[in-house]
Structure 1
């Protein structure tokens, strides 16, 4: 019984300790919430410049009261008038509602995107005039919002041209009511941000002729052969055919030798990687060419229903369709921390692929490319595309890999066609 009482006392002590800890946590949360609200109220309506002018105004009035200098009085009156005017200009009903809509969320470089902005007054009392700020990437579109009556709205159309490949955030819309001096303001964040995907340029390619034949888990390639795993049909015997492929039952019925035909199956797991290290590219245009080559290879692989792994810097994904893949290509950016050996990322994402494609810059040393290709699995096809802006297209075959040089995106179909 003594042990039972001790256990009970220990449990009570632990319960008291847990309650005390909970109370401390609650007090800490309340203090943190109070500090957040205080910071909000001190920063939401009065800018840092406004607080500076207010502190200077108080100091000027104190100095005038102590020393009686009329210069201090004049400066204090000016500061007070500025603060009063800023307060009056920042007052007013700003209970707006807003909606953003874009004409297209997926475009290519050179396309125009229209943004529709609808600002309305959902209340029954009129709103004050205000200013609207719509961020579109690094650019800000600013326009005025007049006084709106009950349930009135203002429609604004903004358009921009997609200049470069990117994931461009549009919004959220900021409504500002304040003074032109920047002392006081009232800001509202309305509507959600919309991402516009500016896809890279791509070219259509013919079929990627790469894979391991006679793979039990492979996909039919459409090529008819005399020896494989996927049965296709029968044909008449021709001199030189392997008699092991004779279908004797059909031969007996037809009273002539019939040979089995098969559809070649290939394992088509494909891995494509893009070199994003800035040191390998002499210009931004050369980097964009490499991204377009990378995107063209990936689009063709997905059109052929190949399992695809995509690697570009820190971005390592397995896109399910062409649109998802192009959205991911829009987010590719130069990265000084990119792994120099692209094979490591490719092998980590898909170690048993039958086709590895690497897109590199013109400054990538050939010896470094050869060392990368030697680390790939035996039997896998390796293609290295060197995007060198303005260079003459070329195709060189090495024991470990095939090196293709393209000087423009239009060179890629011809180079890929020559790989058959």
Structure 2
């Protein structure tokens, strides 16, 4: 390692140690005495010092008031806060507009009564605060907080903070109880029909349930009908039965699905259109996983291979717009899934058609390419450009219709 690189590493390590030391010192100084409390201590010291040096009785009175407030705050902040707490939610995974009930149980596991205190429960960016009365030995208090989800998110709830302090806000005693619980608010999805896109007659394909006359997976025999290909006649069975018998096969398709979502906010008119795109992306992915199709999801710089619909929806809950996201979504899709049989891209209404054409031109010709473009309020439509199909949806309920029309 060169000397400049070593010096840079040492400098970064020193800066990290300094930041950690500063945070520890800040926590130590404010753990029991608030910034207002430190200001009151400083005011008391200054006032008493000025009285001692200048003899101003006004400074003595102000200093004694500050000291009295500090002593009162010390007495009021004392008390037994040896609580035990737990957080339970009605559902860990919900959809938008579902109700969530959070039950917080605080109990006194000791033999002596506890003092009254205040509880602070963080729920995302919001805080729910409630009082905890004095609890006798082994007594408990349950508080239920209910809310209705209004948008897709990964919502952390907790940890519960118990605070015992004085009414002046000078001194406090805080304890962290109960670990954080995560609630996944899934996007709205709609049910879709079967996704039939795939590469037929592939050795790595999966059976589709359709019976055809030409494929790789033998299914059974049937009687000859005029127009059947004589190459499919099973001569041994025909000799035994005395009539021509035709071989039948179960259709197979390689159905590796690559699903990409554009997250550049410049491609969307507003946040509601972005949410429509996330819901369309989630609906297609859920349908692919329900069909046991191998799915590879690409969202910005994140590339995953979800094992089931629930895991995939958890990932969709965390999707956020990202400025500077790559304009050509096909680059990430090809880097991680070069042999997919279906490439599906979900983009916004401001995505130029020329960008979509360039994106589709880099993909394998053997694969099916579908681009779903969201445009709230627009009439649903389906256009075939040869190397890709462009589906336009004005609302989420348009998606099953346009996807069904592509079969």
Question: Residue by residue, what CA displacement relative to the aligned partner does 1:14-60 show, whole Å, maximum 9, x if unpaired?
Answer: xxxxxxxxxxxxxxxxx999998765442210122221221221111
Q: How does 1:128-277 map to 2 (within 5 A)?
A: 128-277=115-264
Q: Aligned pair 1:108/2:95, yes or no?
A: yes
Q: How does 1:32-47 map to 2 (within 5 A)?
A: 40-47=27-34
Question: 1:345 Cα deviation (Å)?
Answer: 1.6
Inter-CA distance 38–288: structure 2 relative to 1 (3 Å threshold): closer
Question: Residue by residue, what CA displacement relative to the aligned partner does 1:382-408 show, whole Å, maximum 9, x if unpaired?
Answer: 100001111110000002210000000
**5+ residue gaps, structure 2:** 1-17
Q: How does 1:114-133 map to 2 (within 5 A)?
A: 114-133=101-120
Inter-CA distance 263–97: structure 2 relative to 1 (3 Å threshold): same
Structure with higher Rg: it is 1
Inter-CA distance 343–174: structure 2 relative to 1 (3 Å threshold): same
Question: Residue by residue, what CA displacement relative to the aligned partner does 1:228-252 show, whole Å, maximum 9, x if unpaired?
Answer: 1000111222233222211110000
Which of 357, 382, 398 is the matching residue for 1:411? 398
Secondary structure of 1:295's counterpart equals helix
Secondary structure of 1:73's counterpart equals helix
Question: Residue by residue, what CA displacement relative to the aligned partner does 1:109-135 show, whole Å, maximum 9, x if unpaired?
Answer: 111111111100111111110000111
Question: 1:213 Cα deviation (Å)?
Answer: 0.4
Secondary structure of 1:265's counterpart equals strand
The equivalent of 1:346 in structure 2 is 333
The equivalent of 1:356 in structure 2 is 343
Question: 1:274 Cα deviation (Å)?
Answer: 0.8
Secondary structure of 2:306's counterpart equals coil
The equivalent of 1:319 in structure 2 is 306
CA contact (8 A) 2:101 2:147 kept: yes
Which of 48, 59, 73 is the matching residue for 1:86? 73
Secondary structure of 2:138's counterpart equals coil
Count of paired positions? 390
Inter-CA distance 33–159: structure 2 relative to 1 (3 Å threshold): closer
CA contact (8 A) 2:365 2:387 kept: no
Which of 76, 90, 105 is the matching residue for 2:63? 76
Question: Residue by residue, what CA displacement relative to the aligned partner does 1:344-370 show, whole Å, maximum 9, x if unpaired?
Answer: 221222221100110001100110011
How far apart in 1 are the matches of 2:140 and 2:152?
A: 34
How far apart in 2 are the matches of 1:126 and 1:51?
A: 31
RMSD: 1.7
Question: 1:72 Cα deviation (Å)?
Answer: 1.7
Secondary structure of 1:65's counterpart equals helix
Question: Residue by residue, what CA displacement relative to the aligned partner does 1:168-188 show, whole Å, maximum 9, x if unpaired?
Answer: 111110100012332211111
How far apart in 1 are the matches of 2:74 and 2:333?
A: 60
Question: 1:197 Cα deviation (Å)?
Answer: 0.8
Inter-CA distance 50–383: structure 2 relative to 1 (3 Å threshold): same
The equivalent of 1:397 in structure 2 is 384
How far apart in 2 are the matches of 1:238 and 1:249?
A: 18
Secondary structure of 1:99's counterpart equals strand
**5+ residue gaps, structure 1:** 1-30
How far apart in 1 are the matches of 2:362 and 2:55?
A: 85
Inter-CA distance 341–180: structure 2 relative to 1 (3 Å threshold): farther
How far apart in 2 are the matches of 1:288 and 1:150?
A: 50
